[in-house]
């Protein structure tokens, strides 16, 4: 293969059989269970990077079922999103993500900088309860439950929340293990159609694990629970801060 061919075809690793196709990435019937809870402000201060600002001692723990996603297939994801502010604009910082599909792990990390790790999250309806679990190996690390479709939520408010920006810390090492890319990335969801949205009673338990550290943002009080189904497109990102250049002096 000629140098020109490498430059022309290089998109993702491995070169001759990339782990995921080029976007855009469209999700049909994407289903969320979001448990919003109050946590320890000191714990948040340890994990949210400047120049992001923590707006409140709150975490959104999310389970997401993606049965039909362009290029990534059918998978389940879970993780923690922290409400933040950047340059006066409210958004969310994705702190942790665990999922069961290699393609979106590779694509999410390489393109945007999603903090994805392989694990075994599940989300399903058990009689009258929406249930989410996260196992890392054989160990239970998170358990969320919510009353199934108890009260209809305001679609306009839910849509507005989905359209706020999300921030990621993208880290790509050099071959000598020093950082080659260390950037704060912002992205938006696009072409969002909220099909259903519900609230109801919710509960969340987070349990210690050496490599799946969701419990280090402890649950002090559950504030709300939401169940959402939507179609949407995952927009590509933009760099809003370069840790290796901005303010380097």
**Residues facing residue 198 across a β-bridge:** 152, 227
158: nearest Cα among 227, 102, 110: 227
Length of the chain: 249
Q: How many CB atoms lie within 10 A of CB 200?
A: 19
The CA distance from 133 to 4, in Å, is 47
- Between the CA of residue 7 and those of 1, 4, 10, 238, what are the distances in Å? 10, 5, 6, 22
The CA distance from 173 to 196, in Å, is 41
Beta-carbon contacts of residue 57 (< 8 Å; ≥ 6 apart): 38, 39, 40, 41, 44
122: nearest Cα among 138, 134, 139, 140: 134
pLDDT at 23: 87
User: Annotated active-site positions, please?
Assistant: 116
pLDDT at 11: 87
- The pTM of the full predicted model, rounded to 2 decimals, is 0.95
3-state secondary structure 87-130: CCEEEEEEEEEEECCHHHHHHHHHHHCCCEEECEEEEEEECCEE
The residue extents of the domains of the chain are: 22-242
The class level of CATH for 22-242 reads mainly beta
pLDDT at 248: 64
pLDDT at 68: 97
**Residues facing residue 82 across a β-bridge:** 93
The CA distance from 9 to 18, in Å, is 10
pLDDT at 34: 98
pLDDT at 77: 98
28: nearest Cα among 241, 238, 233: 233
Beta-carbon contacts of residue 185 (< 8 Å; ≥ 6 apart): 112, 113, 167, 168, 169, 170, 237, 238, 239, 240
32-55 pLDDT, tens per residue? 999 999 999 999 999 999 999 999
Which mean pLDDT values do the consecutive 10-residue runs of the chain (249 residues) have? 92 92 94 98 97 97 97 97 97 98 96 97 98 98 98 98 98 95 98 98 98 98 98 96 83
């Amino acid at each position: 293969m000629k140098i020109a061919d490498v430059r022309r075809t290089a998109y993702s690793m491995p070169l001759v059989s990339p782990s995921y196709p080029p976007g855009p990435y469209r999700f049909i019937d994407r289903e969320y269970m979001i448990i919003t809870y109050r946590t320890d402000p000191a714990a948040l201060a340890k994990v949210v990077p400047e120049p992001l600002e923590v707006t409140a001692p709150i975490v959104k723990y999310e389970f997401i079922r993606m049965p039909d996603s362009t290029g990534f297939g059918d998978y389940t994801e879970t993780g923690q999103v922290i409400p933040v502010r950047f340059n006066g604009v409210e958004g969310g910082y994705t702190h942790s993500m665990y999922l069961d599909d290699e393609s979106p792990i590779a694509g999410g990390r390489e393109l945007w900088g999603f903090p994805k790790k392989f694990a075994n999250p599940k989300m399903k309806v058990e009689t009258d309860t929406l249930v989410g679990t996260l196992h890392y190996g054989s160990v239970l690390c998170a358990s969320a439950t919510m009353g199934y479709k108890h009260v209809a939520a305001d679609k306009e408010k839910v849509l507005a929340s989905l359209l706020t920006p999300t921030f990621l810390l993208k880290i790509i090492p050099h071959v000598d293990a020093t950082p080659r890319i260390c950037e704060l990335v912002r992205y938006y969801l696009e072409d969002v159609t909220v099909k259903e949205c519900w609230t109801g009673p919710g509960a969340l338990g987070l349990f210690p694990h050496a490599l799946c550290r969701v419990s280090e943002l402890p649950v002090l009080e559950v504030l709300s629970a939401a169940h959402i189904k939507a179609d949407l497109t995952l927009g590509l990102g933009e760099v809003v801060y370069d840790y290796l250049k901005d303010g380097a002096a």
